[in-house]
Amino acid sequence: MEDKKVIAVVGATGSQGGGLVRAILNDKNSEFTVRAITRDPQSDKAKELAALGAEVVKGDIDDPESMREAFEGAYGAYLVTFFWHHMSPEKELNEARMLAEAVKDAGVHHVIWSTLEDTRKFIPLEDDRMPTLQEKYKVPHFDAKGEANKFFTDMGVPVTLLHTSFYWDNYINFGMAPKKGADGNLAITFPLGNEKMPSMAAEDIGKCAYGVFKRGEEMIGQDIGIAGEHVSGKEMADSFSNLLGKKVVYNDVPPEVYRNFGFPGADDLGNMFQFYRDFAEEFGRKRDIEFSRSLNPELQDFNTWVSRNKDRIQVEE
Ligand SMILES: NC(=O)c1ccc[n+]([C@@H]2O[C@H](COP(=O)([O-])OP(=O)(O)OC[C@H]3O[C@@H](n4cnc5c(N)ncnc54)[C@H](OP(=O)(O)O)[C@@H]3O)[C@@H](O)[C@H]2O)c1
């Protein structure tokens, strides 16, 4: 135990970080051990991680000193930010800069920054195929993460840039489960056209990240992407129909309709799905399935994920 290298995990009680914590601690022969960073070491989720064998420490991204302390002596760090907790790309940029400085100062040897594309490199602000949001962004929760890559690279942090994918868990946690429409059909609704969306089980992000840490040195300086499957709206609806035992259809809507659905962040997500649709080739090329499986041999495809989670998907009839 004493000889094991410590991986400090931001968001350890959440989806991405939690997957990494479990991947490391479930591998009894791992060369690594976990330092789980949480705002509340006494929470049930934090106690669960402690019971699995994690060192649990207090850290709050709004308290930079606490994060600096949390990285002291760590070999590795998994860094994620929490856009949907505040929905401010400026705040996310500041958080990422602070995290980059903190891991640099602590001398962490291998950092994984959980990132996404800066979509403005594909569709500049003046391109009116997609509205500009918050004056400076196309897809705010993507753009800030992509822009933040430079903090790590400019500071010379030994980083792997890990481009993640849409979680299928959004069907459970993010209000995206099939819903009954005006025509009486259960439907999933996205402005994806007929394009395939690289996407994955959230738990597999952590497992892939574990694969990156295991490969070690060779991954430093790499800019990689992961997905469990590239799957179209119709294919997802067909899987739901087959595996949930209820007919589900795919409802393709124009991005401007999705942007106006009225829930917080609908404009950001409408632009995101349009980006998936309009830049499907480039976005997919970055997220090779066989590469992802080489990092995580247990990688799930969509059917496997639905089969394992069907009791948790609350269809709204
Ligand atoms: N949903 C998707 O499809 C998707 C896909 C790709 C990327 N993403 C990105 O993933 C990110 C979120 O990651 P996630 O889904 O793993 O998060 P999550 O499941 O929402 O959980 C995040 C964890 O972070 C911790 N946390 C929240 N605020 C914190 C703070 N101020 N300081 C320290 N820790 C804090 C919380 O732990 P404690 O309560 O224990 O402190 C929480 O358990 C977002 O930026 C999102 O854009 C999402």
CA 139 – CA 145 distance, rounded (Å): 10
Interval 195-223: pLDDT, tens: 999 999 999 999 999 999 999 999 999 99
Put simply, whether the predicted model's pTM sits higher than 0.95 gets the answer yes
Cβ of residue 170 lying under 6 Å from some atom of ligand 1: yes
Nearest CA owner, ligand 1 atom 19: 14
* Neighbouring C-alpha atoms within 13 Å toward the C-beta of 21: 29
pLDDT over 70 for what percent of the chain?
A: 99
The answer, yes or no, to whether residue 290 has pLDDT greater than 60, is yes
- How remote is the CA of residue 106 from the centroid of ligand 1, in Å? 23
- How remote is the CA of residue 31 from the centroid of ligand 1, in Å? 26
The answer, yes or no, to whether residue 181 has pLDDT greater than 90, is no
Cβ of residue 82 lying under 6 Å from some atom of ligand 1: yes
Cβ of residue 14 lying under 6 Å from some atom of ligand 1: yes
Nearest CA owner, ligand 1 atom 24: 11
The answer, yes or no, to whether residue 1 has pLDDT greater than 70, is no
Nearest CA owner, ligand 1 atom 15: 15
The answer, yes or no, to whether residue 48 has pLDDT greater than 60, is yes
Cβ of residue 141 lying under 6 Å from some atom of ligand 1: yes
- The pLDDT, as a whole number, for residue 156 is 98
- How remote is the CA of residue 182 from the centroid of ligand 1, in Å? 34
* Nearest-atom index, ligand 1, CA of 173: 1
* Nearest-atom index, ligand 1, CA of 92: 45
Mean pLDDT score across all residues of the chain: 97
* Nearest-atom index, ligand 1, CA of 141: 47
* Best of 82, 83, 115, 272 for a ligand 1 pocket test (most atoms within 8 Å of beta carbon): 82
The torsion of the CA quartet 45, 46, 48, 51, rounded to 10 degrees, works out to 180
Binned at pLDDT 50, 70 and 90, residue 110 comes out as very high
Neighbours of 284 (CB within 10 A): 19
- The pLDDT, as a whole number, for residue 2 is 62
- How remote is the CA of residue 160 from the centroid of ligand 1, in Å? 19
- The pLDDT, as a whole number, for residue 217 is 95
Interval 57-80: pLDDT, tens: 999 999 999 999 999 999 999 999
Give residue 39's identity as a one-letter amino acid code: R
CA 139 – CA 273 distance, rounded (Å): 9
Nearest CA owner, ligand 1 atom 11: 82
- How remote is the CA of residue 146 from the centroid of ligand 1, in Å? 17
How large is the average pLDDT for residues 17-31?
Answer: 98
Binned at pLDDT 50, 70 and 90, residue 146 comes out as very high
- The pLDDT, as a whole number, for residue 278 is 98
- How remote is the CA of residue 47 from the centroid of ligand 1, in Å? 18
- How remote is the CA of residue 82 from the centroid of ligand 1, in Å? 4
Cβ of residue 80 lying under 6 Å from some atom of ligand 1: yes
- How remote is the CA of residue 7 from the centroid of ligand 1, in Å? 17
* Nearest-atom index, ligand 1, CA of 39: 41
How large is the average pLDDT for residues 179-202?
Answer: 95
What are the backbone angles phi and psi of residue 133, rounded to the nearest 5°?
A: -115, 145
Long-range contacts of 276-280 (CB under 8 A, 24+ apart): 276/166, 276/192, 276/195, 276/197, 276/198, 277/191, 277/192, 277/193, 277/195, 278/123, 278/129, 278/130, 279/119, 279/122, 279/123, 280/195, 280/196
The answer, yes or no, to whether residue 316 has pLDDT greater than 90, is no
The answer, yes or no, to whether residue 144 has pLDDT greater than 90, is yes
